[in-house]
Amino acid sequence: MEHASLLPSPYILVLTGTGLLIALVAWLPLALKKLPLSLPIVCIGIGAVIFLLPQITLRPLPIRYPEVTERFSELIVIIALMGAGLKIDRIFGWRRWAVTWRLLAITMPLSILAITVLATWTLGLPIAVALLLGASLAPTDPVLAADVQVGPPKTGGEDEVRFGLTSEAGLNDGAAFPFVHLAILLAASAAAGTPWLGEWLTYRVAWEIGGGIVGGWLVGRAFGWLTFHVPADSKLAKTGDGLIALSATFVSYGLTEIVHVYGFLAVFVTALTFRHTHREHDFHHEMHTIIEQLERLVMMILLILFGGAMVSGLFARVSWTDIVFAVATLVLIRPLAGWLALIGYRAERSEKLTLSFFGIRGVGTIYYLAYGINHMAVAQAERLWGIVGLVVLFSILLHGLTVTPIMRSLDRQQGRDPDADDVPPPGLKGPAQM
């Protein structure tokens, strides 16, 4: 009689690993709640250890899997955008959202311009590639920035810092896309001499932004009516199934991308509109909880793979100049651009400093670079991935190690007890509270 192999099958190993990952998704935020550590830091460490094992031969480098990198990061971003929109309590308005418009209209364009100039000057990149790098590195990430975002729906305590960073992260992904397309058009124009300005202004800016807003609003209204306002026996809110938020995410993104408008922008607008149709309904908690749990799971998978990429040669082509560039992007360009945008804004100095400092870079940056490289010729793609990987790593370490003490100190300055139940939990570091 033959004895079964003592080695477990890959299927069993994957099953066991998935179970452990889900357990970590549920437990780690509680364990890290008061520590100067963030969930992303732990995930990257886990990934590095796993992919250093001699039994693991996969090298999860984005340069090897460009399509998978683009699509997986895209999925994570749209889930995060739905979660960000659902948990914003503040009613939409030009004055109420003044901090958002400043960060969106001043901080992000200044950041793109500064990074583009710096990349051209110090890294020697062509203008189109430098612009792609600037557009990828400028937006605040809606996934990893959850550490400084508002809490779940109706939990209260929505201060200017948390609201500003949440709304900025929700909107600037859509606002950065025109600059990614501008880089692609410039690269095509340099190669073939084709005109680019008219297409960019009319199609990539006016049509795709306007269409994304309108499309997101229409989908949000439709799902809001189906969920809260149809006859009582058939309204979706009676099911108690928060998965409808995931449905709204995919429908909004899919339909708007079909008509070639910005799906990222549409998803966030859908979430805001969905929430507005019945702001005080308890069903928003169920929807947000499902989205947050799913977001945390897929985010952890990506960061484990990112940790694996780090030990598989992600930084092999990085030079000291690239390292200085990455540091300058985080500690000089974003803070200065953020501070300039907030000149004249009525807020405490500590609030302005916090808003300027926490320009977290992460999954959105990975997506934009993957999209750009997949749609234009880039001669130094491996080097670009190394630079972007450095910025994301530095951001995770810098912001992850400082977010807990800074946000707790800010709460105390504003007269809130950071350990009280009504203080918004620090995003993906804290559990969803009801």
Mind listing the pLDDT tens digit for each residue in 358-399?
Answer: 988 889 999 999 999 999 989 889 999 999 999 999 999 998
> Which residue in 272, 286, 297, 299 sits closest to 243, CA to CA?
286
Residue at 415 is within a domain: yes
Own/partner contacts of 24-30, CB < 8 Å, gap of 24 or more, are 24/300, 25/293, 25/296, 25/297, 25/300, 29/296, 29/428, 29/429, 29/430, 29/431, 30/431
**Predicted pLDDT of residue 54:** 85
Residue at 221 is within a domain: yes
Mind listing the pLDDT tens digit for each residue in 117-147?
Answer: 999 999 999 999 999 999 999 998 888 776 6
pTM of the predicted model, to two decimals? 0.90
**Predicted pLDDT of residue 36:** 62
Cα distance between residue 413 and residue 409, in whole Å = 6
**Predicted pLDDT of residue 56:** 81
Residue at 284 is within a domain: yes
**Predicted pLDDT of residue 91:** 87
**Predicted pLDDT of residue 268:** 96
Provide the domain count of the chain.
1
Supply the CATH number for residue 54's domain: 1.20.1530.20
Please give the structure tokens belonging to residue 227: 């969920």
Residue at 203 is within a domain: yes
**Predicted pLDDT of residue 218:** 97
Domain span at residue 246?
A: 24-313+324-429
Residue at 369 is within a domain: yes
Cα distance between residue 157 and residue 160, in whole Å = 9
Mean pLDDT by 10 residues, the chain (434 residues): 59 80 75 69 89 87 95 95 91 89 95 97 95 95 78 75 90 90 93 86 94 96 88 68 90 96 95 88 86 90 94 95 96 95 90 91 94 93 96 92 84 71 44 33
Residue at 299 is within a domain: yes
Q: At what angle do helices 160-192 and 127-137 cross, to 10 degrees?
A: 160
Return all residues near 434 (Cβ < 8 A) that are at least 6 apart: 152, 285
Residue at 183 is within a domain: yes
Residue at 120 is within a domain: yes
C-alpha angle with apex 230: 224 to 232, nearest 5 degrees? Answer: 120
**Predicted pLDDT of residue 428:** 40
